[in-house]
């Protein structure tokens, strides 16, 4: 196959296509004026390059206010993981590289049938 897709800029136009499919998507909600967002960006990029089987997407909360509101983003950066169309993790704050890598491994190891059962049962 060719080279892997770089980090995707997520907009409301491409959101469904990027996030609703099978597999894992790691989202970074950020803004250009946000210092912690700018310091987290290289970590996000580095982990994305080291994890080619996962989609990494960035949501500019200034440009994509609808998406930020839809996910009730209160502070940025916020890291969110969506697996098979289900949000399995969401937390504000920049993560250290090791924590992000570990989080991705945990999300990949989830039994999604079990996750869906828990959601269905409230």
Q: Which residues are catalytic?
A: 34, 37
Q: Report the relative pairing of strands 78-83 and 55-60 from DSSP bridges.
A: unpaired
* Helices (runs of H) and strands (runs of E) counted in the chain: 5, 5
Is 6 exposed, middle or buried, given 0-12, 13-18 or 19+ CB atoms closer than 10 A?
A: exposed
How far is it, in rounded angstroms, from Cα 75 to Cα 61? 10
């Amino acid at each position: 196959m060719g080279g892997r897709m770089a980090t995707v800029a997520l907009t409301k136009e491409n959101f469904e296509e990027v996030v609703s499919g099978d597999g894992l998507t790691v989202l970074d909600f950020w803004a250009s004026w946000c210092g912690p967002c700018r310091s987290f960006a290289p970590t996000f990029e580095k982990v994305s390059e080291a994890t080619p089987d996962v989609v990494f997407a960035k949501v500019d909360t200034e440009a994509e206010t609808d998406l930020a509101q839809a996910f009730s983003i209160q502070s940025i950066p916020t890291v969110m993981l969506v697996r098979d169309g289900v949000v399995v993790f969401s937390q504000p704050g920049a993560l250290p590289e090791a924590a992000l890598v570990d989080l991705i491994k945990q999300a990949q190891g989830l039994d999604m049938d079990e996750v869906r059962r828990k959601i269905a049962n409230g």
